[in-house]
Amino acid sequence: MRCHCNLIIYKHFMINYFKKVSPSPIKGSLQEQQQKYKRLKWSVFISATIGYSLFYVCRLSLSVVKKPIVDSGILTDSELGMIGSALFFAYAIGKLVNGFLADRSNIRRFMATGLLLTALINLALGFTTSFTAFIVLWGFSGWFQSMGAAPSVVSLSRWFSNKERGTYYGIWSASHGLGKAITYLGVAFIVSVSGWQWGFWGAGLIGLVGAIIVALFLHDSPESKGLPSIADFKNDHAVVSTKNKSIGALQQDVLKNPYIWVLAFASALMYVSRYGIESWGIYYLEAQKGYTTLEASSIVSVSAISGIVGTVISGIISDKFFKGTRNVPVLVAGILNVTAISLFLFYPDGSPWVDTVSMLIFGFAIGILITFLGGLMAVDIASKKASGTALGLIGIASYLGAGIQDVVSGYLIGNNHTVLNGVDSYDFSTVKLFWLGAAILSVICALFVWNAKSRD
């Protein structure tokens, strides 16, 4: 009985802790509201971008330490594939569940809590060599990782109007590249100097800083700060109005929308190719082409820099030159992605310049595709009151694809890894076709989504 009461108290506390902040009375003159809106919008935008980039640091730490862990005899290729997939599968389910919750939640508390917990798990992983501990903790980390993207996108939906959202969404998406750059350069350097454990410890400490930033500077909604909604303030209502529908009904509309399902499948295939390179690219360069960990990380890290460029310009280009439609940029980016992966995997070994150029193109293309296929096109189609749900549906499909990729890639790499007289030998031919084929199919699927109308 006492235990039951404690559970009820805990449930009540959690519901109230994450409950969306109630609207406050609108205060101040129009000029004062404009000044307050401008200040808070920048606070929300910068904290969401920095915060989500540090989610990525905590997520990609394993990618940097894979080869050192295998070389130390702690884990095998196949075990690393299973560990990686544990994060992706938990992340996939969490993206959908937490997407629903984010629409109804205090996004500041929601996002800060997720980043705090994934940072603490990274710190814990530096103290263990147990396969069981790795797969359990990394799986939990995947769930907490899923508390990052949805509140970020919900914050953009709540604070930025239809006419400006593409631009800011594209810049926010640069957080992917910023997180990769910090990981592939900063964390990789720490690992090369201090050992694989510092890959997790370094990422964990960085994540703790990010949780503090989000907790201090991300704000729930304009209404919670005594401001009108962004649609009313900017007089920028969408073509299809959803004012008379409840959030639950709008979330159901998302699940019934065939365009969003097509986008989800295209994004899933794109994530197979994306994480084939991001999760295993460093390992591939070390095992196949003979680079050191720092050399391989440096080559892959250029994709993070070009990815930032791709994400930043993607929304601007689509808003300014294509009147908010994303289809032509997606087609161009998909073709560039296929080209870059082909160069990276099939150009003869021994050319650092070609490997670097391929990663520059790959990062640029993936930056655009993450922005559009990975979220913005679905957010455009769905009601803004259900943007977290739309992103959640895309997310669960994307990370199921990423999780399947890690299992399949780990199996294919491990099954074609032999040791003869103490010398490692790898055959990557099958897994390379797997990564490239997914990129090609993603482009084809994206062609089926064109003229869907946006909603308030």
| Contacts within 8 Å (CB) and 24+ apart, 443-447 | 443/331, 443/334, 443/335, 443/337, 443/338, 445/262, 445/265, 445/266, 445/269, 446/263, 446/266, 446/327, 446/330, 446/331, 446/334, 446/373, 447/331
402 has pLDDT over 90 = no
Residues found in the chain: 456
Q: Between 156 and 340, name the one with better pLDDT.
A: 340
Which H or E run contains 242?
none
The band of 135, judged by pLDDT with boundaries at 50, 70 and 90, is: very high
Cα dihedral sign for 332, 338, 344, 348?
negative
User: Average of pLDDT values for 180-207?
Assistant: 90
Residue 124's pLDDT is: 96
**Of the candidate ranges 12-21, 88-97, 237-246, 270-279, the one whose mean pLDDT is the lowest:** 237-246
189 has pLDDT over 80 = yes
The band of 456, judged by pLDDT with boundaries at 50, 70 and 90, is: low
* Ramachandran area for residue 25 (φ above 0: left; ψ -120 to 50: alpha; else beta): beta
Which H or E run contains 334?
helix 327-346
The owner of tokens 């590249």 is: 177
pLDDT above 70: percentage of residues in the chain: 86
- Residue 406 has a CB neighbour count (10 Å cut-off) of 26
User: Average of pLDDT values for 356-360?
Assistant: 94
Dist. CA 354–CA 213, nearest whole Å: 39
365 has pLDDT over 70 = yes
Model confidence pLDDT, tens digit, residues 245-303 = 666 777 777 677 778 888 888 999 999 999 899 888 888 888 888 888 788 888 988 88
* Ramachandran area for residue 28 (φ above 0: left; ψ -120 to 50: alpha; else beta): left
Residue 7's pLDDT is: 44
2 has pLDDT over 70 = no
pTM equals 0.70
Q: Which domains are seen in the chain, by residue range?
A: 37-223+248-446 (1.20.1250.20)
Residue 10's pLDDT is: 41
379 has pLDDT over 50 = yes
Residue 449, phi then psi, degrees to nearest 5: -115, 115
Residue 244's pLDDT is: 58
**Of the candidate ranges 23-32, 209-218, 244-253, 275-284, the one whose mean pLDDT is the lowest:** 244-253
Contact 211, 112 (CB under 8 A): yes
Highest mean pLDDT out of 46-55, 69-78, 234-243: 46-55
Model confidence pLDDT, tens digit, residues 143-168 = 999 898 888 888 888 888 767 777 78
- Residue 247 has a CB neighbour count (10 Å cut-off) of 16
Residue 283 token pair: 């390992």
Residue 421, phi then psi, degrees to nearest 5: 55, 40
**Of the candidate ranges 27-31, 60-64, 211-215, 395-399, the one whose mean pLDDT is the lowest:** 27-31
Beta bridge partners of 455: 240
User: To the nearest whole number, what is the mean pLDDT of the chain?
Assistant: 82
The band of 210, judged by pLDDT with boundaries at 50, 70 and 90, is: very high
Note the maximum CA span of the chain. Answer: 79
115 has pLDDT over 90 = yes
| Residue at 379: amino acid letter | V
Residue 220's pLDDT is: 83
User: Average of pLDDT values for 123-132?
Assistant: 93
Residue 270's pLDDT is: 93
